[in-house]
Structures are given as structure tokens and as C-alpha cells.
């Protein structure tokens, strides 16, 4: 439980590291918006900020928005950092900068929890979730805020129940600078997909907040300036189906009372398609997108990776069912699996055409520590840990160059403007058309919303419609949407499509790496993430 106050107040600087340029952070969309600079507010770091003793001043800096300054470090007495594996270099860099001011630096979050060895320079390692290790860290800093002589590793044995989590300190973040709001309802997942570290890190029995906590968080996000889409960062929204069923009526009621000012998105397993009662309620709550880790359309591959639950309904049928409730499917795809054959790339492209999914994060297989995949490849001596020139640490069964070439070809073909816009057009006609028709409430008709839409429209017309090199495709789509008076169906897809097109071009020309597994957009209920 949060310590109310501790006699020796400490100034804590929480710094969230920059993301490496990636497919999943939509950075090429930002110039089309009204000032977005970052993807989602980091749940964990804002959670720890809220958990600290109430008389400890906290400053939060997201280096995706601005770098921590000399003044920030001079103000601070200790620095907290967190992030995922792909932010490793940036986290170590923050540590180096903080040490230049002789500040103690603590690191928490999913990366250090899985791989403490990655962070030899930090003074405190916080391994695991919010709990007794957090309390011990606070107690140590309260006693003595100088740098310890050697690294101290604090591991959580006794976790704080999620029902006792404070609301993340969203007030410290510049909410308007984020593309999406984020919220966490549960932690953990009951499945055991071979490549995934979630069950190993957070358990198979999902832990939960209460619906009342979630409503309070949504209200706080709104009060702090978030007015668009809130992403449930839970690794599997239906990891505990009963919990999802319990939450949805609260979301529906809140949306009705508040003029449907928010849209929701989440991650869930594809077998959600077998739960019409959940999908119907999600539609009513105005969920608009579900990220499904489809991973591969090949049944043999799904079996091999222990993701059989994706086959509970035929994949294309599952996607169509979700679409019929007004929700677009975003899909994760992995290439470089042991079951891949020379024709895998072509099969994947056919699947993309058939499924009409516009947005798929296509990555090369990467083995994460603390996963069954890591253990198997280690046994088979197929982990490659000393070659920075590769985009994956897996020794594929097919030649590496062939796998990489297939990936590049898929990226290039899948995100050709004509093909991508055709898939978005399908979504407009068949998916978005199934969405709840929400009333244009006074909460939606605000001057701020109108201004925002106009700025985006201006940017899109100028940067894509006039200066862009795929303007013919854009105008064909845009004029169609305008004829339908569908401004929303115009802005959303164009914004996302621009990022996908630009990123894919860089990827296929070798300027982006191919194993950004962190694109699954997951975050975790650990401190300082």
C-alpha cells in the first residue's frame, strides 16, 4: 500500500526513454496530427509516480516528447527509469547522464525484470511488479539518497494486489502529446505461446483491477486532456472472460453518460470471435479495434508454437466476425518460424488480401529470455547472441538471407498504397459501417475537437494530397469518403496509412530492422514502465 508520507521527502525524476524508431509507434503519422509526439503514456512509470509517498515531489519526463535537461537532473535526488528491451540502449544512456550528476538511478519494468544482466550500471534494479521491492526501494532512498557502493537488486515477492493500485499519475504527463491513451485492467495470460514472455513474467492467472478503478482512470485520463482512443494494454483482454463481462456494462454506462467521448481498443486472442455476447457488449461500449496475435495463417505453425487457440474458429471467419461488430482487426505476424517454407511469404500476402486487415505488424521471430522458445533454441544451440548485424537472434531453419528477403518483399507488397487503401476502403464499407451509431453529443461537438479535426485535415491535404507521392490513390479514397460525408473514415485511415507506407518503404530498402517484437504494443503492470 502506498506510504502516505515519509519524513525525508525526496525529489524523484521519472524518465521514460525514447523508443527506437518502429512500426508500432506510428511516428510518421505524427506530422499529420495537431501536435502528437509520442505513442502512449507509459503506464508503469506513471503508476510508480502515483505510488510514491505523497510528500515526495515527482517530475515525469517522456524523452519521446523532450529530453531530460540539466535542470531536471539538478532538481532531482534520484532518478527512476523503465522500459522494454528495445529501449535498452536509451535506458543505459539515461543512467549515464544521471550519474554525471551523481544521482542514484533505479530501473524497473519488463526489460530489467526479464534480464537484470542488461543493466550493470544502475544503482538499484527493481525486478518484478509493484510490491515489497518497491517499498524497500522507497525506504532505502528515504534513509540515504546517495549512490550505493555496489548495485542493489530488489525483487518483488509480495505483489500489491491490482485492486490496490493507485490511479497512474496521468496529471504529470502531457496527455495531448500522445496518440492514444493507455489503461490496464489485467495482468498475465492463461495461454503459453512458445515465443511469449507474458506468462513467465506475470503469471497465467490474470490479476485484475476493479471496474470502478477503470472508470476512475478513464475519468482522470479525460480530465487530463485525453479525448480520443484509450488502449487497454492488457496482453489479453479476455484472459479472464468473466472479468471482461463484468467490466463492459460499466464502460457502456459511462459512455452513455458522457456522450461517447472515448473509443476503446484492446488486445485479445482471436477466439474472442466465439464470444458474441462479449463482442456485442464491446460494440456497445464503442470498442473500435482489437489487436489479435494471429502470428501466422499456417495451422501447422500455430500448433508448433502452442497457439492452437487461434484455430478455435477458422481465422478468416474469426476476423469477419469481429468486423461484423464494428471492430477492425490489427494483426501481429511472425516470419522465420521453423515451419516456414519458401512459399510462406506468398501465402502470407494471400492471407492479407483475403482478410482485408489493413494493419499487420510483420516481424521476424525473436527469442525473448524467459520463454519456452528461448529454452528450446538454447538446447538446440540455435541462439545467436553475438551478431549485431542480424535482425533476429534466432538461427532460422531456412537461410537467414532468404527469410529477410521474404520479409522485405511482404512489407513492400502489403503496404503498397493501392493495396493498403483498398483494404481500408473495405473496412469503411463493411466494418466501420457496423459500428454503433453514436449521437453527436455536446461532449463531442466541442470547439477543441472541431479545431483538431480541421488541423488534421489541413495537414493531410497539404502533406499527403499535395506534396505526397501517392496523391492519386489518396484522392480517390478521400473523395469517396467526402461523398459519403465520412470525415472520420477519412482522417483515421489516412493518418495510419501514411505511417505504414513510409515505414514499409524504409523497411523494404533495409533502413528499418525486421525484428521489432515490441510492436505488440504490450505494456505491463510493473513499476516504472
Which of these segments, 22-30, 131-139, 195-203, 392-400, binds ligand SF4 (CB under 6 A)? 195-203
DSSP string, 396-460: -SS-HHHHHHHHHHHHHHHT-HHHHHHHHHHIIIIIGGGS------TTTS-HHHHHHHHHHHHHH
* Of 107, 198, 243, 514, the one binding ligand SF4 by CB under 6 A: 198
CA 40 to chain centre: 7
* Cell (9 digits) for 222: 479525460
What DSSP designation does 383 have?
Answer: B
Neighbours of 35 (CB within 10 A): 11
For residue 160, the 8-state DSSP code is P
In terms of residues, how long is the chain?
Answer: 529
Rounded to a whole number of angstroms, the minimum distance from the CB of residue 190 to ligand SF4 is 7
- Of positions 199, 297, 336, 358, contacts ligand SF4 by CB under 6 A: 199
When binding is defined by CB under 6 A, the residue of 15, 46, 105, 189 that contacts ligand SF4 is 189
Pull the grid cell for residue 14: 521519472
User: DSSP state, 338?
Assistant: T
**Binding-site member from 45, 58, 196, 514 for ligand SF4 (CB under 6 A):** 196
Residue 159 DSSP label: B
CA distance 67 to 295: 35
Applying CB under 6 A, the span of 113-121, 192-200, 257-265, 478-486 interacting with ligand SF4 comes to 192-200
Sheet with strand 263-267: strands edge to edge: 181-183, 229-232, 263-267, 287-295, 328-335, 360-364
How many amino acids of this chain bind ligand SF4 (CB under 6 A)? 11
Q: What is the rounded distance in angstroms from the CA atom of residue 107 to the CA atom of residue 270?
A: 34
Residue of the chain from 39, 119, 178, 191 that contacts ligand SF4 (CB under 6 A): 191
Looking at the Cβ atoms of 82 and 371, the one nearer to ligand SF4 is 371
Contact set for ligand SF4, span 264-293 (CB under 6 A): 269, 293
Q: Which stretch binds ligand SF4 (CB under 6 A): 54-62, 88-96, 114-122, 189-197?
A: 189-197
Fill in the per-residue mask, 229 to 248: x = in contact with ligand SF4 (CB under 6 A), - = not in contact. Answer: ------xx------------
Residue 288 or 373: which CB sits closer to ligand SF4? 373
Q: Does 374 bind ligand SF4 (CB under 6 A)?
A: no
For 482, how many CA atoms within 13 A lie in the half-sphere containing its CB? 9
Instruction: Give least dist CB 274 to ligand SF4, A.
Output: 15
By the rule CB under 6 A, 251 interacts with ligand SF4: no
Shortest Å, Cβ 193 to ligand SF4: 3
Q: Helices 400-414 and 487-508, interaxial angle, to 10°?
A: 150
**In whole angstroms, how close is the CB of 159 to ligand SF4 at the nearest point?**
19
Is residue 217 part of the contact set for ligand SF4 (CB under 6 A)? no
Please tell me whether residue 518 binds ligand SF4 under the rule CB under 6 A: no
CB nearer to ligand SF4: pick between 192 and 449: 192
The three grid cell numbers given for residue 344, joined into one nine-digit string:
510462406
* Interface residues toward ligand SF4, by CB under 6 A: 189, 191-193, 196, 198-199, 235-236, 269, 293
Amino acid at each position: 500500500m502506498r506510504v502516505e508520507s515519509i519524513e525525508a521527502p525526496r525529489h524523484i525524476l521519472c524518465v521514460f526513454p525514447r523508443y527506437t524508431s518502429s512500426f508500432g509507434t506510428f511516428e510518421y503519422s505524427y506530422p499529420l496530427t495537431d501536435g502528437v509526439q509520442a505513442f502512449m503514456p507509459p503506464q508503469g512509470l506513471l503508476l510508480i509516480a502515483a505510488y510514491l509517498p505523497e510528500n515526495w515531489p515527482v517530475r515525469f519526463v517522456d524523452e519521446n516528447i523532450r529530453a531530460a535537461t540539466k535542470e531536471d537532473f539538478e532538481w532531482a535526488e534520484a532518478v527512476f527509469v523503465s522500459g522494454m528491451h528495445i529501449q535498452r540502449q536509451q535506458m543505459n544512456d539515461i543512467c549515464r547522464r544521471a550519474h554525471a550528476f551523481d544521482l542514484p538511478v533505479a530501473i524497473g519494468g519488463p526489460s530489467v525484470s526479464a534480464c537484470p544482466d542488461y543493466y550493470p550500471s544502475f544503482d538499484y534494479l527493481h525486478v518484478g511488479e509493484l510490491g515489497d521491492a518497491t517499498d524497500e526501494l522507497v525506504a532505502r532512498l528515504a534513509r540515504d539518497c546517495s549512490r550505493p557502493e555496489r548495485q542493489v537488486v530488489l525483487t518483488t515477492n509480495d505483489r500489491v494486489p491490482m485492486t490496490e493500485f493507485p490511479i497512474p499519475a496521468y496529471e504529470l504527463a502531457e496527455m495531448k502529446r500522445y496518440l492514444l491513451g493507455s489503461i490496464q485492467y489485467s495482468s498475465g495470460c492463461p495461454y503459453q505461446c512458445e515465443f511469449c514472455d507474458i506468462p513467465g513474467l506475470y503469471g497465467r492467472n490474470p490479476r485484475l483491477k476493479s471496474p470502478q478503478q477503470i472508470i476512475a482512470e478513464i475519468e482522470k485520463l479525460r480530465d487530463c486532456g485525453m479525448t480520443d482512443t484509450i488502449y487497454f494494454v492488457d496482453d489479453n483482454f479476455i484472459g479472464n472472460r468473466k472479468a471482461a463481462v463484468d467490466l463492459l456494462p460499466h464502460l457502456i454506462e459511462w459512455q452513455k453518460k458522457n456522450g461517447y467521448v472515448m473509443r476503446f481498443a484492446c488486445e485479445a486472442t482471436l477466439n474472442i470471435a466465439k464470444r458474441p455476447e462479449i463482442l456485442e457488449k464491446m460494440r456497445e461500449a464503442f470498442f473500435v479495434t482489437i489487436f489479435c496475435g494471429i502470428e501466422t495463417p499456417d495451422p501447422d505453425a500455430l500448433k508448433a508454437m502452442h497457439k492452437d487457440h487461434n484455430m478455435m474458429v477458422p481465422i478468416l471467419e474469426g476476423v469477419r466476425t469481429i468486423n461484423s461488430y464494428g471492430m477492425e482487426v490489427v494483426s501481429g505476424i511472425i516470419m522465420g518460424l521453423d515451419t516456414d517454407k519458401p512459399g510462406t511469404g506468398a501465402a502470407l500476402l494471400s492471407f492479407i488480401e483475403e482478410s482485408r486487415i489493413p494493419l499487420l505488424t510483420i516481424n521476424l521471430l525473436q527469442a525473448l529470455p524467459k520463454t519456452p522458445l528461448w529454452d528450446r533454441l538454447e538446447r538446440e544451440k540455435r541462439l545467436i547472441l553475438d551478431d549485431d548485424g542480424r535482425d533476429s537472434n534466432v538461427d532460422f531453419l531456412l537461410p537467414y538471407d532468404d527469410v529477410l528477403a521474404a520479409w522485405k518483399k511482404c512489407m513492400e507488397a502489403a503496404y503498397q498504397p493501392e493495396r493498403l487503401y483498398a483494404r481500408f476502403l473495405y473496412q469503411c464499407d463493411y466494418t466501420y459501417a457496423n459500428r454503433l451509431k453514436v449521437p453527436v453529443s455536446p461532449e463531442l461537438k466541442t470547439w477543441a475537437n472541431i479545431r483538431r479535426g480541421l488541423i488534421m485535415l489541413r495537414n493531410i491535404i497539404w502533406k499527403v494530397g499535395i506534396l505526397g507521392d501517392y496523391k492519386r490513390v489518396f484522392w480517390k479514397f478521400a473523395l469517396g469518403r467526402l461523398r459519403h460525408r465520412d470525415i472520420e473514415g477519412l482522417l483515421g485511415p489516412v493518418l495510419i496509412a501514411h505511417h505504414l507506407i513510409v515505414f514499409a518503404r524504409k523497411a523494404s530498402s533495409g533502413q528499418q530492422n525486421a525484428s521489432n517484437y515490441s510492436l505488440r504494443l504490450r505494456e505491463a503492470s510493473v513499476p516504472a514502465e
